[in-house]
Amino acid sequence: MTDMQVVETIRALFGGSPAMYMIGAIGARNLVALGGRGGVQFQVMRNARGVTHVRIEPDASDTYRVAFLRVTRCGEIRELARFEGVYANSLRRIFEAETGLYLSL
């Protein structure tokens, strides 16, 4: 699977909507394919939990590793939460719980 296919698959798991929906709903920007590891990292809008970036990587067991990060202006990266073995149908729920940003009305 190419990097862009991985990005599109993960994007679809957040609601199956076009890219513009994801960008509008959560303020996602600076989407980056994570090269050799497969996966995606993106920046999200301001939220109550202080999460600035989310990293989602597929693993060998057909589940995902999800990390919620805070990147400061100085470039310091702090991992606020990490989840291993996340099934595709749980990605939205975990994202919404950790960021307070909702992907549906």
Query: How confident is the model over 50-93, as pLDDT tens digits?
Result: 999 999 998 889 899 999 999 999 989 999 999 999 998 898 89
Mean local confidence (pLDDT), 14-26: 59
Q: Is 5 exposed, middle or buried (0-12, 13-18, 19+ CB in 10 A)?
A: exposed
The residue among 4 and 88 whose pLDDT is bigger is 88
Task: Answer yes or no: is 10 within a domain.
Answer: yes
- How far, rounded to the nearest angstrom, does the alpha carbon of residue 80 sit from its chain's CA centroid? 13
Task: Evaluate whether 98 touches 51 at the Cβ level (below 8 Å).
Answer: yes
| Number of structural domains found in the chain | 1
Task: Evaluate whether 71 touches 53 at the Cβ level (below 8 Å).
Answer: yes
Per the structure, the complete domain to which residue 75 belongs is given by: 3-99
The residue among 64 and 17 whose pLDDT is bigger is 64
Q: The domain spanning residue 87 has which CATH number?
A: 3.90.1150
Q: How confident is the model at residue 23 (pLDDT cuts 50, 70, 90)?
A: low
